[in-house]
Structure 1
Amino acid sequence: MEATKKKIGRPTTSPKNTMIRVRMDDETIKKMDSCAKKLNTTRSEIIRNSIVEFYQKMNK
Structure 2
Amino acid sequence: MEDAAEYFGDTDGYPPDIAHHGVVLEKQGKPDEAKSWYREAADLGHPAARKVLDGNPDTVKE
- Tell whether the structures are fold-level matches, with TM greater than 0.5: no
Bigger relative contact order, structure 1 or 2, given CA contacts below 8 A and separation 6+? 2
Greater helix content: 2
Give the structure with higher Rg (CA): 1
Normalised by the length of structure 1, the TM-score is: 0.28
